[in-house]
Amino acid sequence: MTTTATAVTSPIQRLVSEPAPDRLAMSGSSVPLADWHRDLIRDGFAVVKGAVPKERAEKYTNDMFTWLEDFNLGFDRNDASTIHKDKLPVINEKGMCLHYAVTHEDFVWQVRSEPGVVGAFETVYNDKDLIVSFDAVGFGFPNRTDLPKNVPWPHQDQDPEKPGFSCLQGLVNLLPNGPDDGGLIVCKGAYRLSEQFHREMAWEDRIPQWTNEWYGFTDNGMKWLADHGCEWVKVCAEPGDLLLWDSRVPHYNLSSTTSQPRFCVYTCYMPVADVTQDDLVHRVGTTHWPNARHVGGNVAKRDGEIDINNRIRPRKDAVLSERAFQLTGIPYIKPST
């Protein structure tokens, strides 16, 4: 069964009962934990190997290159000299593209609805009734001199005043990603110290943030983590691997220092039970949190001016499977009375 993202249907029934009380650890469950799930509980992050078959990861990579070339600005995947901001859509120094309706391209929705990706989140939440974020797509090219330097910005994507496990973040890696190929850097095990950290560091003014669900670590905060034995680790992955991390985990990304680009799609899910009807109705773009409405717009700017290449619809409208349509949240919207 397929449908379009604009279709409307009546609410569907809950697929399972309420989520497990301890979602991260599957408290009380008799189901044996996979190795990646044990890693997630121990360290706060994990790599789910082969969540997307390699041949489909290659297809999605090709789709991403084609998407860039179809702007007709001069970018050619086979010519490294064309990796320049004037020949590409607007992509920030961290490799993230947020505009041009890229979050609703058909290839992005195909990645989001991959069974091995969705299934990992279903396992952690012990719930099949999930919605997915409409988050960024990663086009990270190495050795960029045409953009500001990508400096580390260690942070966690969870409000310090909301302790405990709240959200599981993720991304699907689509190209080989080794130790020097840029990508995700995490602070191993630090999520277990999150409440203690924020209690002991409450005296310090926060780095300005656009949402309370973002907390930046200052030099003092970084010293606290080091003093408590926390280790920063570069997460390596193969095409099709799914990277997961608890939203309390301090993390950031770095750019590649090799010739290898880094392509990925950010895929974060949460139970519908945690989302309000108002959130469901107004979702167009989101942050990593699927229920957090994006406060910005879909308007890319170049040098402060609106990009003439802006678009409000994807280049190729998504054709959604029944499962993907559920992930939009639309089937869970209750009819108005």
Contact 294, 134 (CB under 8 A): yes
CA-to-CA distance for 214 and 257, rounded, in angstroms?
27
Domains in the chain, CATH or no CATH each: 2-332 (2.60.120.620)
Contacts 24+ apart (CB under 8 A), 231-234: 231/187, 231/188, 231/189, 232/185, 232/186, 232/187, 232/188, 233/185, 233/186, 233/187, 233/188, 234/179, 234/183, 234/184, 234/185
- Kindly give the confidence (pLDDT) of every residue in the chain, 337 residues in length, as a single tens digit, with 9 standing for 90 and above: 333 333 333 333 333 323 334 566 554 455 678 999 999 999 999 999 999 999 999 999 999 999 999 999 999 999 999 999 999 999 999 999 989 999 999 999 999 999 999 999 999 999 999 999 988 899 999 999 999 999 999 999 998 988 899 889 999 999 999 999 999 999 999 999 999 999 999 999 998 887 788 899 999 999 999 999 999 999 999 999 999 999 999 999 999 999 999 999 999 998 998 888 887 876 654 455 665 555 456 689 998 899 999 998 999 999 999 999 999 998 998 887 6
DSSP state of 206: P
CA-to-CA distance for 175 and 153, rounded, in angstroms?
23
Other CB atoms within 10 A of residue 311 CB: 15
Q: What is this structure's pTM?
A: 0.89
